Amino acid sequence: MEKAQEWMNYGLELAKEFGPKLITAILIYIVGSWVIKKIISATRKVMAKSKYEESLQKFLLNLISWSLKVFLIIIVISRLGVDVTTFAAVIAAAGLAVGLALQGSLSNFAGGVLLMIFKPYRIGDLIEAQGELGVVKEVEIFTTKLITPENKLAIVPNGAMANGNIVNYTAEGKIRVDTVVGVGYGEDIKRTKDVLLNVLTSNPQVLQDPAPYVNVMELADSSVNFAVRPYCRPEDYWDVYFST
């Protein structure tokens, strides 16, 4: 009986000492979880209005959510009287180890974030970068996928894309097609020029503003070479290129 009374007294002492801390910790967790949901909801709305890429939205929202949850858990644990210094040190050490192991991937991730924020190109744009020319099929967190003129899939790391030169042929809404047409020295220069101009002006995919340009570029060893310079929409580039 005395033993039971001792355990009861001990339980009451524990309740008096830790009860308020436990109740406070629970309340902090409930309120903190509600605040995190509100922050994530507000951030999602801001990203939607700013037209962030969907993959970037998901990643950033998850990153913010987990960071806030870890911070909340640390606050709750500290409120219970637990020393969180060691806990924080373990998290920092683990983060450093993971960062060193995934150094290349983190570089590509950072490049992907920059590309999605500053948007030097979008899906459907014709670009040239890292020795590859093609239409952007997809911009992911770590890589950019291009469809080349040979209908091949080129996958380029975003780290290299963000740190290298990018030529966007689509950005201005029109692109010049540069081709060279050679004719024999016996041909009539003026007539040849008129024929080439007529081919360009009769092509519905060739823009008339700016007007297409044709003129003698070079007197080669066996031919007179004409510079043929029509403009077209970026999506019509290859059709116009192979039709001139």
User: Cα(7)–Cα(216) distance, rounded to whole angstroms?
Assistant: 105
Look at 106 and 216; give whichever has higher pLDDT: 216
Provide the whole-model pTM. Answer: 0.58
User: Cα(9)–Cα(18) distance, rounded to whole angstroms?
Assistant: 14
Averaged pLDDT, 101-112: 70
Q: What percent of the chain has pLDDT over 70?
A: 80
pLDDT at 113: 81
List every span in the chain annotated with CATH 3.30.70.100.
175-243
Looking at domain 175-243, its CATH architecture is 2-Layer Sandwich (3.30)
Helix (H, G, I), strand (E, B) or coil at 142: coil
Q: What percent of the chain has pLDDT over 90?
A: 17
Which residues is 155 bridged to in the sheet? 145
Looking at domain 119-168, its CATH architecture is Roll (2.30)
pLDDT per residue over 149-181, tens digit each?
889 999 999 989 988 899 998 888 888 888 898
Q: Is the pLDDT of residue 146 over 90?
A: yes
Torsions phi, psi of 184, nearest 5? -70, 160
* Residue count (the chain): 244
Q: Is the pLDDT of residue 94 over 70?
A: no
pLDDT band at residue 93, thresholds of 50, 70 and 90?
Answer: low
Looking at residue 56, the DSSP 8-state letter turns out to be: H
The CATH code of the domain at 2-101 is: 1.10.287.1260
List every span in the chain annotated with CATH 1.10.287.1260.
2-101
